[in-house]
């Protein structure tokens, strides 16, 4: 029930269980079961984070190049509001030769995710378990490809300040497009020609060339709106130009795009939490995301065993609490054997002789009543 409830709408899960098992369950049963187990999965990650903070064990994984990308996406709530779901994607970077293109392509493999709707500081702390599992401290090099959001840069400062920071190439292209559209318009041939040349320069030349190109574009400004767009793009790129040296990054074999976390939004959150007509209570978002991480990270069996073990421990704890308290210890009752061992009994009297015992136990045959005629004999009834 929990696995199906985390992968598809609850109504569809009811149909799947009926078709596969011929068991009829209500939609509410599957919903409550899924949320209950999701809360346990979330609590287990929190407990693991507390353990890591307390014990600080060394990570066992030893990756080569490790890429870390974080981003946020919005999910709808039942009250009509939207909440940001933050996700971090972690994967190993590898170079692959493409014969048809005749070039080396940088790819990210073995991607895993951590997703929550926490605030930025809580999210930083919660991601510790996943990043420790992937061995971020043991990686030869960490490559952080992200946009320029402040909370994302703070996230990198918290977990891997030594990382090579790269601004997502498509994100920078958006600022170039903003400046070009302000001057020439979106659909004009002049904009398309300028934009294509600017993107090629951004990808293959040092970032200083792009900054110089935008300064030339400032000379074509005629209105305040145009000035605001061009100046905004220039300020953003100039401030982060060290993280936009894409020619150097490509020669070093580093990825320059954060597509893994962008696709992670679709895989983890959108496919389950942003279906048609879906609205979520705030307290149910993170339990569902906890189960979604187990499914998308391909760790369902491992996570499910931990959930089952947690339930068993809780039941045993509740059973012990419901048992009556043990009565205080009561001294054992005194016995003759115990008193005799302690030497508290008086000494035994002299044992009687066998003849004396027989004399007291058996009467003399001469004094027996039947010999004196007190008792009727066996035949006396015939004469009476």
139: burial class by Cβ within 10 Å (0-12, 13-18, 19+)?
buried
Residues 120 and 240 in one domain: no
Among candidate residues 267, 284, 308, the one where a domain is terminated: 308
Residues 99 and 237 in one domain: no
239 part of a folded domain = yes
Residues 218 and 198 in one domain: yes
Using the predicted structure, report yes or no on whether residue 351 has a pLDDT greater than 50.
no
Question: 65 pLDDT band (50/70/90 cuts)?
Answer: very high
Structural domain including 154 reads 59-168+257-308
pLDDT at 383: 45
317 part of a folded domain = no
- Give how far the C-alpha of residue 80 lies from the chain's centroid of Cα atoms, to the nearest Å: 27
Residues 100 and 214 in one domain: no
Residues 180 and 101 in one domain: no
Residues 109 and 249 in one domain: no
Instruction: Give the chain's mean pLDDT.
Output: 87
268 part of a folded domain = yes
Residues 132 and 269 in one domain: yes
CA distance linking residue 99 with residue 180, whole number of Å? 36
CA distance linking residue 54 with residue 177, whole number of Å? 48
Question: 368 pLDDT band (50/70/90 cuts)?
Answer: low
Residues 267 and 280 in one domain: yes
Q: Give pLDDT tens digits for 91-140.
A: 999 888 777 777 778 889 999 999 999 999 999 999 999 999 999 999 99
95 part of a folded domain = yes
- HSE at residue 365, side-chain half, CA atoms within 13 A, is 0
pLDDT at 318: 81
DSSP secondary structure string for all residues of 252-303:
TT-----HHHHHHIIIIIIHHHSSTT--B-HHHHHHHHHHHHHHHTT-HHHH
Domain count, the chain: 2
Residues 102 and 249 in one domain: no
144: burial class by Cβ within 10 Å (0-12, 13-18, 19+)?
buried
CA distance linking residue 338 with residue 344, whole number of Å? 9
Residues 135 and 187 in one domain: no
pLDDT at 103: 76
Residues 159 and 231 in one domain: no
Using the predicted structure, report yes or no on whether residue 36 has a pLDDT greater than 50.
yes
Residues 200 and 237 in one domain: yes
pLDDT at 316: 85
């Amino acid at each position: 029930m929990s696995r199906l409830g985390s992968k598809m709408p609850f109504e569809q899960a009811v149909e799947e269980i009926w078709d596969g098992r011929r068991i009829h369950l209500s939609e509410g049963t599957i919903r409550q079961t899924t949320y209950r187990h999701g809360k346990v999965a979330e609590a287990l990650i929190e407990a693991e984070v507390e353990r890591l903070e307390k014990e600080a064990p060394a990570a066992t994984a030893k990756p080569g190049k490790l890429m870390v990308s974080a981003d946020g996406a919005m999910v709808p709530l039942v009250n009509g509001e939207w909440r940001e779901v933050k996700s971090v994607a972690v994967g190993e970077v590898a170079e692959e030769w493409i014969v048809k293109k005749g070039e080396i392509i940088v790819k990210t493999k073995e991607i895993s995710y951590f997703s929550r709707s926490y605030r930025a500081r809580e999210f930083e702390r919660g991601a510790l378990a996943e990043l420790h599992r992937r061995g971020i401290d043991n990686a030869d090099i960490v490559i952080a490809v992200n946009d320029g959001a402040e909370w994302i840069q703070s996230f990198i400062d918290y977990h891997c300040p030594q990382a090579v920071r790269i601004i997502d190439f498509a994100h920078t292209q958006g600022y170039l497009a903003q400046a070009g559209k302000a001057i020439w318009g979106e659909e004009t041939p002049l904009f398309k020609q300028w934009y294509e040349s600017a993107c090629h320069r951004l990808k293959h030349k040092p970032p200083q060339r792009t900054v110089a190109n935008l300064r030339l574009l400032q000379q074509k400004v005629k209105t305040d709106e145009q000035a605001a767009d061009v100046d905004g793009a220039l300020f953003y790129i100039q401030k982060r130009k060290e993280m936009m040296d894409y020619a150097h990054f490509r020669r070093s074999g580093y990825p320059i795009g954060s597509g893994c976390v962008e696709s992670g939004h679709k895989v983890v959150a959108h496919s389950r939490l942003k279906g048609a007509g879906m609205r979520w209570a705030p307290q149910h978002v993170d339990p569902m995301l906890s189960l979604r991480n187990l499914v998308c990270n391909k760790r369902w069996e491992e996570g499910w065993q931990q959930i089952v073990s947690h339930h068993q421990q809780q039941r045993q704890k509740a059973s012990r609490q419901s048992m009556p308290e043990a009565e205080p210890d009561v001294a054992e009752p005194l016995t003759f054997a115990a008193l005799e061992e302690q030497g508290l009994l008086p000494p035994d009297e002299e044992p009687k002789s066998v003849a004396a015992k027989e004399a007291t136990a058996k009467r003399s045959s001469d004094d027996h009543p039947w010999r004196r005629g007190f008792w009727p004999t066996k035949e006396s009834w015939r004469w009476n």
